[in-house]
Amino acid sequence: MTEAVSVKKLTHFINGELVEGKSRSYSKVYNPSTGEVIAEVPIATAEETREAIAAAKAAFPAWRDLSVAKRAEVLMRFRYLITENMDQLLDTICTESGKTLEDARGEVTRALESVDLAIGAPHLVKGEYSVNVGGQINAYSAKYPLGVVAAISPFNFPIMVPLAQTSMAIAVGNAVILKASEKVPMTSLFVSELWKKAGLPDGIWTVVNGSKDAVNELLENPTVQAISFVGSTPVAKYIYETGAKYGKRVTALGGGKNNMVVMPDADLEQVANAFIGAAYGAASQRCMAISTIVPVGEETADRLVAILKDKISKLKVGSYTEEGTDFGPVISKESKESILKAIDLAEQQGATVVNDGREVDIVKNSEGFFVGPTLLDNVTKEMDICDQEVFGPARNVVRVGSLSEAIDFINDQELANGVTIFTNDGAAARKFTTEIDVGMVGVNVPIPIPVGYHNFAGFKGSRFGEGHMFGPDQARFFTKTKTVSERWPGTTETTASTFAFPSND
Could you give the residue numbers annotated as active site?
Answer: 287
Among 230, 250, 263, 475, which residue interacts with ligand NAD (rule: CB under 6 A)?
230
Which lies closer to ligand NAD via its Cβ, residue 32 or residue 154?
154
Which lies closer to ligand NAD via its Cβ, residue 295 or residue 418?
418
The residues in 409-428 that bind ligand NAD, with binding defined as CB under 6 A, are 417
Which lies closer to ligand NAD via its Cβ, residue 253 or residue 308?
253
173 Cβ contact partners less than 8 Å away, ≥ 6 residues apart: 63, 64, 66, 68, 71, 144, 145, 479
Minimum distance, C-beta of residue 212 to ligand NAD, in the bound complex (Å): 4
Residue 231 sits in the site that holds ligand NAD (CB under 6 A): yes
Among 46, 104, 148, 215, which residue interacts with ligand NAD (rule: CB under 6 A)?
215
Which range, of 39-47, 227-235, 356-364, 422-430, touches ligand NAD by CB under 6 A?
Answer: 227-235
Minimum distance, C-beta of residue 335 to ligand NAD, in the bound complex (Å): 8
Which lies closer to ligand NAD via its Cβ, residue 294 or residue 416?
416
Minimum distance, C-beta of residue 179 to ligand NAD, in the bound complex (Å): 6
The upper half-sphere exposure of residue 178, i.e. CA atoms within 13 Å in the direction of its Cβ, equals: 32
Alpha-carbon gap, residue 124 to 149, rounded angstroms? 19
Residue 181 sits in the site that holds ligand NAD (CB under 6 A): yes
Q: Considering only CA atoms, which of 300, 313, 256 is closest in space to residue 456?
A: 256
Q: Is the dihedral of CA 73, 77, 78, 80 positive or negative?
A: positive
Residue 228 sits in the site that holds ligand NAD (CB under 6 A): no
The residues in 37-56 that bind ligand NAD, with binding defined as CB under 6 A, are none
CB 422 within 8 A of CB 295: no
The H or E element that residue 459 is part of is: strand 459-460
| Alpha-carbon distances of 88 from 10, 104, 190, 330, 468, rounded to whole Å | 17, 12, 9, 22, 30
Minimum distance, C-beta of residue 392 to ligand NAD, in the bound complex (Å): 11
Residue 161 sits in the site that holds ligand NAD (CB under 6 A): yes
The upper half-sphere exposure of residue 222, i.e. CA atoms within 13 Å in the direction of its Cβ, equals: 0
Residue 255 sits in the site that holds ligand NAD (CB under 6 A): yes
Residue 79 sits in the site that holds ligand NAD (CB under 6 A): no
Minimum distance, C-beta of residue 242 to ligand NAD, in the bound complex (Å): 9
Which lies closer to ligand NAD via its Cβ, residue 63 or residue 391?
391
| DSSP strands (E only) in 194-330 | 205-207, 224-230, 249-253, 258-262, 290-295
Query: Binding string, 373-402, against ligand NAD, x = CB under 6 A?
Result: ----------------x-x-----------
Q: Considering only CA atoms, which of 151, 149, 114, 146 is closest in space to residue 229?
A: 151
Return left, alpha or beta for 297; rule: phi > 0 is left, psi -120 to 50 is alpha, else beta. Answer: left
Minimum distance, C-beta of residue 453 to ligand NAD, in the bound complex (Å): 16
Q: Considering only CA atoms, which of 442, 466, 444, 446 is closest in space to residue 455?
A: 466
Query: Binding string, 463-482, against ligand NAD, x = CB under 6 A?
Result: ------x-------------
CB 482 within 8 A of CB 243: no
Minimum distance, C-beta of residue 452 to ligand NAD, in the bound complex (Å): 13
In degrees, rounded to 5, the angle at the alpha carbon of residue 197 between the alpha carbons of residues 196 and 200 is 45
Which lies closer to ligand NAD via its Cβ, residue 287 or residue 394?
287
Which lies closer to ligand NAD via its Cβ, residue 370 or residue 464?
464
Among 32, 35, 147, 154, which residue interacts with ligand NAD (rule: CB under 6 A)?
154
Residue 211 sits in the site that holds ligand NAD (CB under 6 A): yes
Report the b/e string of 71-96 with b at 16+ CB within 10 A: bbebbeebbebbeebeeebbbbbbbb
CB 146 within 8 A of CB 226: yes
Minimum distance, C-beta of residue 132 to ligand NAD, in the bound complex (Å): 45
Alpha-carbon gap, residue 307 to 313, rounded angstroms? 10
Grouping H, G, I as helix, E, B as strand and the rest as coil, residue 30 is strand
Which range, of 91-99, 168-176, 251-259, 470-478, touches ligand NAD by CB under 6 A?
Answer: 251-259
Residue 332 sits in the site that holds ligand NAD (CB under 6 A): no
The upper half-sphere exposure of residue 474, i.e. CA atoms within 13 Å in the direction of its Cβ, equals: 37
Which lies closer to ligand NAD via its Cβ, residue 63 or residue 327?
327
Interface with ligand NAD by CB under 6 A: which residues? 152-157, 161, 179, 181-182, 211-212, 215, 230-232, 235, 253-256, 287, 389, 391, 417, 458, 462, 469
